[in-house]
Amino acid sequence: MELTEFLKTSYTAYHAVENAVTMLEGHGFLRLSEGENWHLEDGKGYFAVRGGSSLIAFRYQRGGAYRLIASHTDSPCFKLKANPALSDANYTRLNAEPYGGGLWYTFFDRPLRLAGRVVRERDGKLVSETYTSGFQVVLPSLAIHQHRDANEKFAPNLQTELPLLSIGKCDFEGVIADMVSSDLFAMPAEEPFVSGYGGEFLSSPRIDNLVSVYTSLSALIGTEHPSETLVCACFDSEEIGSRTLQGAGGDFLKTALTRIGIAQGRGEEERLSAYARSLLLSLDNAHALHPNHPETCDPTNRPVLGGGIVIKGHAGGAYTSDALTTALLKKILGDAGVKYQTFFNRSDVRSGSTLGAISLGQVSIPSVDAGLAQLAMHSAVETMAYADYEELLRGLCAFYISPLSMDTAV
């Protein structure tokens, strides 16, 4: 599956995980269930799914420490409430609430598709399946003639600005048959497109953070004979704070590493010492210098599109990078000829947080934050440089195979 196909069809975290499973199974990775015992064989690839929307894949080795990459599968959107059909004499709209911190004005007047998972009853069992609507919906903005200051002030009320489902009354039970319950979202349905004189830009919904998910999976699949266990963790719920069963604040990574350690014949002491020798790359996108708003950028750390992998730092610990882990990543990338640059927030701007800092609350592994440079983060359509994807893929492969470790650094 190509990157653009992955971006286009991974409408929600459930779809991203489904596509990831297809990629992994196509390359011989075996599915594990959290509800059954894990029997792992040296040199083989495995994955486990939690909640249908988070996935941990790994190449298992009996010896060595762990080398991990973590990213997130979710993106800002509108989540449908229960009983979403809101009908009046003229129209039916969809009652929804914001999921994450979207750049909401960009969601107006664009094709949106209903997508997520639906739980149905089949043969006395409850079955969860991904769902994508065959139809699109739209969230219409108010005309400029009826909202003269729209270009100066646009502050949508997210309870009253709702997507249109139909003219007249529409029974939502008729839209999705046999549904017992659901996690459904109105997702940007725009297809990825290339722009720029030389075709250098790629614009698409969900560049944050599905490019990281896709690229880390590709690096794991492409690294066939590692000397230590490689882990690719893709978590849901990052946009809403990660504190869910399947989010990075849950114990999915901790329990997966514990079970890998048990399969390796390691007691708790050996597992803890292996964590201290391991390295986690927390992978999430970074704001590139915006040419129309250069004043929003830090004066000396100004990543640009096409400038390579962005290594992120923050005095307040929003990012996990420290001098040692940053040096390790710089060395790994530099040795592989991969370009990198650095990002810090302006000191008068509140920093976003990432998976790395949250994961460390569960498992103590030295960690560094990095990611792809992009524009228009959390817009319905975001923009990156295609060349940076290629640098990222080479960089992640180098990260997985590099013999440099905390042992050699300490």
Contacting positions for Zn ion (CB under 5 A): 208-209, 284
* Cβ atoms of 288 and 298 closer than 8 Å: no
* Cβ atoms of 373 and 341 closer than 8 Å: yes
* Cβ atoms of 118 and 127 closer than 8 Å: no
Q: Which two tokens stand for residue 113?
A: 């598709």
Which stretches of 214-333 are assigned E, i.e. beta strand? 229-235, 279-283, 286-287, 309-312
The closest residue (CB) to Zn ion is 209
* Cβ atoms of 283 and 315 closer than 8 Å: no
Triad 321, 69, 207: Cα angle to 5°: 95
Q: Whose Cβ is closer to Zn ion: residue 228's or residue 284's?
A: 284
Q: Whose Cβ is closer to Zn ion: residue 87's or residue 351's?
A: 351
Minimum CB separation of residue 243 from Zn ion in Å reads 16
Minimum CB separation of residue 253 from Zn ion in Å reads 17
Q: Whose Cβ is closer to Zn ion: residue 208's or residue 228's?
A: 208
Q: Whose Cβ is closer to Zn ion: residue 172's or residue 214's?
A: 214
Minimum CB separation of residue 212 from Zn ion in Å reads 8
Q: Beta strand 279-283 with 112-122: parallel, antiparallel or unpaired?
A: unpaired
- Nearest alpha-carbon partner for 119 in 33, 52, 174: 52
Distance in angstroms (rounded) separating the CA atoms of residues 138 and 75: 18
Q: Whose Cβ is closer to Zn ion: residue 228's or residue 382's?
A: 382
Minimum CB separation of residue 352 from Zn ion in Å reads 8
Q: Which two tokens stand for residue 223?
A: 């690294």
Minimum CB separation of residue 72 from Zn ion in Å reads 6
Minimum CB separation of residue 259 from Zn ion in Å reads 27
Distance in angstroms (rounded) separating the CA atoms of residues 11 and 13: 7
Q: Is the peptide bond before 83 cis (omega within 30 degrees of 0)?
A: no
Minimum CB separation of residue 331 from Zn ion in Å reads 26
Q: Whose Cβ is closer to Zn ion: residue 286's or residue 365's?
A: 286
Q: Whose Cβ is closer to Zn ion: residue 40's or residue 69's?
A: 69
